[in-house]
Amino acid sequence: MKRTIKFTIPEEFDGKKVIAYLRGEAKISARLLKSLKRIENGITLNGGHIRTIDILHTGDELKIEIPCPGSGIEPMNIPIDVIYEDDDLIAVNKSPFLACHPTHNHQGDTLANALAYHLKSEGKQSVFRAVGRLDKGTSGIVICALNKHSAAKIPKTAEKEYLAVVSGKTDKCGTIDKPIYRPDPMKTLRAVGEQGDRAVTHWETLATDGEKSLVRVWLETGRTHQIRVHFASTGMPLVGDSMYGTDEMNLGHQLLHCAKVSFVHPVTGERMTLEAPMPEDMKKIADSLKKVGDTVEADN
């Protein structure tokens, strides 16, 4: 299968080279452009063969065809909540009980398996390219790019917003700026330590009952387990997080949810914002907390 993208050359690119448009205006990565040049009809102009050094004219139709190979992952009929889909990406509100991709402990019960089944049922196929994976136990929006072009462009403009329920009463807002490292390379556990990589987490409190608090979180960096490690380091681990705290409520997962993702569409150039509701157990706990009033902007 292939993803075909067509461009009509505007007046400002009249007389310029094909490569100038593809790299400058269409934002095609150097890596993808190199692979397209090796493919028959990977790049065509007005239906015919073209070199990247050839000259464009106003109104020309430039076309690229991006191969979309299968993932090799076994399709499994696992229910998923698709919140957006087109020819370039698919966004899912992931369950906290679903791992993103196959691992030693999860071979056929992952989001990758579910998406392979979903795409197959629509006569499509794609390598599993999650744009920012979520831990098993974390719910919310996962965007999967359906071709190399989308996979290269979406991460550059994506902005995420999380909701978390943490133990204790939080301040109105704050920033946690502590480096994170991996104490044991054989384990997934992370910890705060000066030998680690810089990690910065911003948050604001939305509601609290004095024992638990609902916070909105956004990140400057994207370290593994960053939100979980940072709040645990302040003595306020996420509710339900048995790795960095306790799961006294027997929830079976940490109350962390990717609620909003904003990004520029890789083909249309439109700024898109996707939102996804919390899972029912998290929503029930969040709704029981007393709102602190209008949200405030935390320090950046």
Q: Which ranges constitute the DSSP H helices of the chain? A: 18-20, 30-38, 111-121, 148-157, 226-233, 280-287
Q: What DSSP assignment string belongs to 4-16? A: EEEEEPPGGGTT-
Q: H helices of 15-137, where?
A: 18-20, 30-38, 111-121
Distance CA 33, CA 137 (A): 38
DSSP structural state of residue 249: T
* Distance, first Cα to last Cα, the chain: 44
- Of 60, 81, 109, 135, which is the active-site residue? 135
Catalytic annotation present for 135: yes
Tokens standing for residue 239: 């509710």
Burial of 194 (0-12, 13-18, 19+ CB in 10 A): exposed
Q: Which residues are catalytic?
A: 135
